[in-house]
Amino acid sequence: MQVSCRAALVPRLFVCPAVVALLLCISPACLAASPLPEEPFAILADGRRVVARVDGVTAQGEWVFDQAGETIIVPKDQLVLWGTCRDRCDDSWVVLDDGSLLTADLLRIEEDKVVVAGGIWPETHLPRTLVRGILFRPPLNDAARDALVFRVLSEPRDEDRLLLDHGDELRGAVPRSVSPEPGAFHPEKIAWPVKGSLEPIEVSFKRIDAILFAANGEESLSRDSVQQWIGLTDGSRLLATHVAATEDSLTFEVSAGAKLVAEVSGGTEANPWDRVSFVQPLGTGIAYLSDMQPVGYKHIPYLASSWPYRNDRSVSGGQPRSSWGLAMKGIGMHSSSRLAYDLPETARELHGELAIDQRAGQGGSVVFRVYLEEGEGKWNKAFESGIVRGGQRPVAMRVELKNAVRVALIVDFADRADQWDHANWLNLRLVP
């Protein structure tokens, strides 16, 4: 007989007898979850949600929003995020060393640079050391697309590589000059040197899924401690240190001081900021639990499959997604599981958005719970979400930490046992 592991799991979460008291001191008090708005909105550090559109950024890095004609200025360290990150894959992607994705096509490869263009991007010269790779045909399947991007970002940069269809791979060195045929955006073929052969082989670009570039012995790129994810309507997402606008362009400064300029003129976007769909500052003092080391994790499978938790990933390993869009921060867990953290003394509240990952479709149903330890092994339930199902918009969570010294995140199955229970704690963060 299969029984719920809700009661059995908690005592085995930590190697500590005090945790057994987790179920013995349950408080009925919990803050109710609330649905997120349909319109673009900003989430502020204090938990407020402000429906508004982005309208600029000051020289001091403060974000400017327009709320029904009223100007709202939000310091970078008070903004959790604004908008939704688009997840398009109908064009080539240029993958930068810092994880940025630029929606653009290859024009040519030169000795020390990669030249790309497309959509809102004019001819753009990128240092080869900044470019991890180019995905010519990102897979339509989210999981396959994520896996390819993660591979590009994680592969050793000891030599250039061609990733071909059907899983084939060629290693060596991309020729120092690759130019397109007249009237064509891509070269039709690339001459690839083969070890042990005097003559290179010609590879059709129709067979190439991606080009990965070696580091060429260069040192790792320096990165500013305060950065921000900027998502654009063409599907690009950039990890930028600075962003500025003119009447018809947006300028982004990314790794190593490289600058990217997006041209916006005519069309429906009269304001260049209308090209921005998502903003999320990082390194500003908002502490994400996915950046912290947990003190304990336990998953008890319903049948046999065991699932690890994942930081800034869904439990299946992909980028966290929900009906709200793609997320850059969060924790993926599967029912039934428990994950716990020590809390810093400065933490006053725990905020986040809760959802079933988009990969589950209409499947999956879980209950999110938060327990707090206030010392001496006394645990109290501080939050319960009710049943959250696949396809449902994320619900907001706000938990007062009071004098808690430790927090436990709990995901339990609800309907249909644990089928597709890919639970996302999106943007889970501590507020001082």
pLDDT digits (tens, 9 = 90+) for 166-194: 889 998 888 766 665 544 445 577 878 77
CA–CA distance, 415 with 413 (Å, rounded to integer) = 7
Q: How confident is the model at residue 377 (pLDDT cuts 50, 70, 90)?
A: confident
pLDDT of residue 16: 36
Other CB atoms closer than 10 Å to residue 392's CB: what's the count?
Answer: 17
- What confidence tier does 423 reach under pLDDT thresholds 50, 70, 90? very high
User: Are β-strands 365-373 and 321-322 bridged in parallel, bridged antiparallel, or unpaired?
Assistant: unpaired
2: Cβ contacts below 8 Å, ≥ 6 apart: 302, 303, 417
Instruction: Give the CA angle between residues 422, 423, 426 to the nearest 5°.
Output: 130
Binned at pLDDT 50, 70 and 90, residue 20 comes out as very low
Q: What is the DSSP string of 199-243?
A: SPEEEEGGGEEEEE---TTPPPPP--SSEEEEEETTS-EEEESEE
Poorest-pLDDT segment among 20-24, 232-236, 351-355: 20-24
* 395 pLDDT higher than 60: yes
Residues 6+ apart with CB under 8 A from 423: 315, 332, 333, 334, 335, 354, 355, 356, 357, 364, 366, 368, 388, 411
Structure tokens at 110: 């030169």
Lowest-confidence segment of 50-54, 131-135, 172-176, 369-373 by average pLDDT:
172-176
Kind and range of the H or E run holding 416: none
The token duo for 72 is 């709202």
What pLDDT digit, counting tens, does each position of 77-124 carry?
A: 999 999 999 888 778 999 999 999 999 998 888 888 999 998 899 999
| Whole-number pLDDT of residue 359 | 93
Q: Would you state the pLDDT for residue 100?
A: 95
Query: Quick one: which of 393, 291, 269 has its CA closest to 341?
Result: 291
* Chain segment 328-339, per-residue pLDDT in tens: 999 999 999 999
Q: 175-207: b or e for each residue (b if 16 or more CB lie within 10 Å)?
A: eeebebeeeeebbebbebeeeeeeeeeebebee
* Mean pLDDT for the stretch of residues 149-169: 91
Residue 30 has pLDDT above 70, yes or no: no
User: What pLDDT shows up at residue 334?
Assistant: 95
Q: Which domains does the chain have, with CATH numbers?
A: 6-36+286-431 (2.60.120.1060), 84-284 (no CATH)
* Choice among 7-16, 300-309, 350-359 with the minimum mean pLDDT: 7-16
**Share of residues in the chain with pLDDT > 90 (%):** 59
Residue 60, helix vs strand vs coil: coil
**Residue 340 confidence class, pLDDT cut points 50, 70, 90:** very high
- Specify whether the backbone of 68 is left (phi greater than 0), alpha (psi in -120 to 50) or beta: left
